[in-house]
Structure 1
């Protein structure tokens, strides 16, 4: 049921929302236009049909009255054969279905009665025979005039369908063009913000937009990005400078402690403090350092195994390691930064994820998510875990969890560095609860598609061949 929940939580894009609103507006406008056309054409059409009926009745009546009695039968046959007009006597016992009094028909009935008299009957069926029937009198004798009933239905034909189709296509094209024109600046702004959030350096937004509002937004956004870059550069410079300057006295103090004549316990405690200070300095440098290299295609499983080897986690007797890694997952990342992120997760587990017996039960699993487009790396331990209210806070720089839960302290940059590296590759980091207890870290990366993977492998093979040829 998870995909149903995701479908419910998914929001339509602004393009489709605006496009559908425009299509709905066009649809109801066309419906309103057709209704207006129908109302405006109702009176002229009804007058034309009524005038046709009245003229047919009057001409037929005059022809019968003035015709020679010997030729009346021939006249009736000619009217029936050529004009489709039948004359028959009317009787009181005739079963009559009168013309309905709604819309066109009601107006036709009213106009016919106005011209031929209020006693005139306009019917659609007489004695089970369909047609358009009109009653009239000749010298006191009652008759029916029957003609075709197709006059009651406006002869629209099929031409209007083609015109409606052409108008609909033109309207859809216009709605698409208008929607793209309105949404394109916002889509560019959204893409720019996404790239900026991933740590990339996108091109500035155009400040020569066609509208004053978009121009003002782009200019303000570019200025904001410029200010953020300057603040980021100043912070990186400050952290790098402070960290670099602290390395020398820390190294000197450690050397003096090692050479000094001190009790073993005091020396170990001081060395431990100095190692912790050096580790904090290293974390400062790692957080301040930004890779200028382009992202490359990396085998995620091999990167995890290499990071574990560098961390020497398997040689630690107090660590019980379990790994389940999919070997065929490729992502776009900076290899060194990806290794650093994995090592930080392992180090974080070593510090805070140990069980009560001092053993770290560490599990790393790498797999594809059901959508097939996302790689999921989970790092879990069986320690005390982290309260839900603190998870968002510890992802920020210089924030730590409760040190009392493990008795150790750090710089508060480990998870912040992981989050920063992962976001540069378009991924996400999420903290949760492990089963049965402990901390579970979920790291998601977009998977490189098979087409891009084949293309990259071919390019690598070509580059290797060229290198061999040069040698």
Structure 2
């Protein structure tokens, strides 16, 4: 039970597995892209800086001293490139501090010469500084560091975020596409469990395996519907065929048997057989019910009125008259009658021989919980789960009882048809307690 409580649905299981798979793919893609992008980006950055240095060197080489000042000023204003003389006292910090900047520095020296100096700041002025020579004169070229910066974390975050969102949406769409046929199959199976055999699955699916499963399920549903129809016809015939000779036996006993005690015993046996036939018919009753708002108190009162023999059973009910549930009035009455009959037979007090039954209710959210409790000996704990099994009696001594062993099975089946639930247990003070859970009417 604990394992089932935390079990994931197939949709979420598929969704999580697909998400993990695609997320691992994104991580692998990012790492691969970084590795493939590293070398081209360093070469491109170094090539751009080297081109600036070469252009600046050529411009300064062919300009006289007067035009050099104008050229340096123009380059600073229009290209964001600053040129200045390199002094021996200049203080600078190395540019190569990581794998990316080391690769750029190495590439710049291979293009500009081994004496090239690359710095991240000169005289505490940050920037990308490249030291080069024109003949015997030393110069600094300061360029925008954005030219050689790797991809920022914000760019990676946007890329990975978009990929992750696409992964989540794609996983949800694929999981829904995979699980939709199984969801339809599960819904159709639940309807068959409730006795509705008109569910038809799509037999024109593209997927061959799902199409074959749907075809097999539809064939099974048709066969079960035919079996159910044959069973109803058979039970109706048996009921009719058995009651006719029973009526003749009753009439014969009334006319031919002289001994009054024997006559009463024959009549009791006939009544017992007739009640057993009714139980069989109730259990085999079709599952179609119409749920409407029903006053619980009135249905309980009608069921109680059928048990007027206070020497065998006494029923007390504490129900408000305004409590309504969504149910079929006939089915709910049959549920209560069977519970009262079960208490009358098996819930008698050991000393008085009378079955004292209490009917109460509580509300829990959108549900109404009816409780029917007797004060009899109760049932062994290990046998509680078997009480709703057809033809099972909770105590070996009860095999001499006059029932068919279908009462609680009929109760459970009727409640399932009405969307309710039956729970059986032993009361703390002794006796069997039945909890009937039904949807509260608006």
How many aligned positions are there?
439
Partners of 1:258 and 1:346 in 2: CA distance: 31
Note the 1:28-427 alignment, pairs <5 A.
28-86=24-82, 87-89=84-86, 91=88, 94-102=91-99, 104-139=100-135, 142-153=138-149, 175-255=171-251, 260-262=257-259, 264=261, 269-290=265-286, 295-299=290-294, 301-302=296-297, 304-312=299-307, 318-324=313-319, 327-331=322-326, 333-357=327-351, 358-370=353-365, 372=366, 374-404=367-397, 408-427=401-420
- Kept in 2, the 8 Å contact 1:240–1:284? The answer is no
Partners of 2:384 and 2:221 in 1: CA distance: 28
- Kept in 2, the 8 Å contact 1:355–1:382? The answer is yes
Residue 90 to residue 437, structure 1, CA distance change in 2 (3 Å) = farther
- Kept in 1, the 8 Å contact 2:297–2:319? The answer is no
- Kept in 2, the 8 Å contact 1:375–1:444? The answer is yes
Q: For structure 1, list consecutive stretches of 5 or more residues without a partner in the other structure.
A: 451-471
- Kept in 1, the 8 Å contact 2:425–2:432? The answer is yes
TM-score (structure 2 length as normaliser):
0.84
Instruction: Quote the offset at 1:174 in angstroms.
Output: 5.5
Partners of 2:440 and 2:133 in 1: CA distance: 90
Does structure 1 residue 435 correspond to structure 2 residue 431?
no
Partners of 2:41 and 2:62 in 1: CA distance: 31
Partners of 1:93 and 1:413 in 2: CA distance: 104
Residue 36 to residue 303, structure 1, CA distance change in 2 (3 Å) = farther
Secondary structure, in 3 states, of the residue corresponding to 2:414?
helix
Secondary structure, in 3 states, of the residue corresponding to 2:259?
coil
Query: Which residue of structure 2 aligns with residue 465 of structure 1?
Result: none
The CA RMSD over aligned residues, in Å, is: 3.7
Residue 345 to residue 84, structure 1, CA distance change in 2 (3 Å) = same
Partners of 1:440 and 1:122 in 2: CA distance: 89
Give deviations 1:184-211, integer Å, cap 9, x for gaps.
2212211111111112232322322222
Instruction: Quote the offset at 1:283 in angstroms.
Output: 0.9
Query: Which residue of structure 2 aligns with residue 456 of structure 1?
Result: none
Partners of 1:329 and 1:152 in 2: CA distance: 77
Partners of 1:287 and 1:167 in 2: CA distance: 58
Residue 85 to residue 208, structure 1, CA distance change in 2 (3 Å) = closer
Partners of 2:321 and 2:141 in 1: CA distance: 89
Secondary structure, in 3 states, of the residue corresponding to 2:205?
coil
Give deviations 1:71-95, integer Å, cap 9, x for gaps.
4333333332222223252546725
- Kept in 2, the 8 Å contact 1:97–1:126? The answer is no
Comparing 216-225 and 7-16, the one that deviates more: 7-16
Partners of 2:376 and 2:106 in 1: CA distance: 91
Instruction: Quote the offset at 1:369 in angstroms.
Output: 2.4
Residue 406 to residue 354, structure 1, CA distance change in 2 (3 Å) = farther
- Kept in 2, the 8 Å contact 1:123–1:134? The answer is yes
Q: For structure 2, list consecutive stretches of 5 or more residues without a partner in the other structure.
A: none
Secondary structure, in 3 states, of the residue corresponding to 1:240?
helix
Residue 72 to residue 386, structure 1, CA distance change in 2 (3 Å) = same
Partners of 2:44 and 2:68 in 1: CA distance: 29
Residue 329 to residue 95, structure 1, CA distance change in 2 (3 Å) = farther
Instruction: Quote the offset at 1:217 in angstroms.
Output: 0.8
Partners of 2:55 and 2:153 in 1: CA distance: 30
Instruction: Quote the offset at 1:145 in angstroms.
Output: 2.4
Give deviations 1:158-187, integer Å, cap 9, x for gaps.
999999998887776655554443322212
Residue 445 to residue 238, structure 1, CA distance change in 2 (3 Å) = same
Secondary structure, in 3 states, of the residue corresponding to 1:295?
coil
Instruction: Quote the offset at 1:411 in angstroms.
Output: 0.5
Residue 145 to residue 402, structure 1, CA distance change in 2 (3 Å) = same
Residue 329 to residue 141, structure 1, CA distance change in 2 (3 Å) = farther
Comparing 190-199 and 70-79, the one that deviates more: 70-79
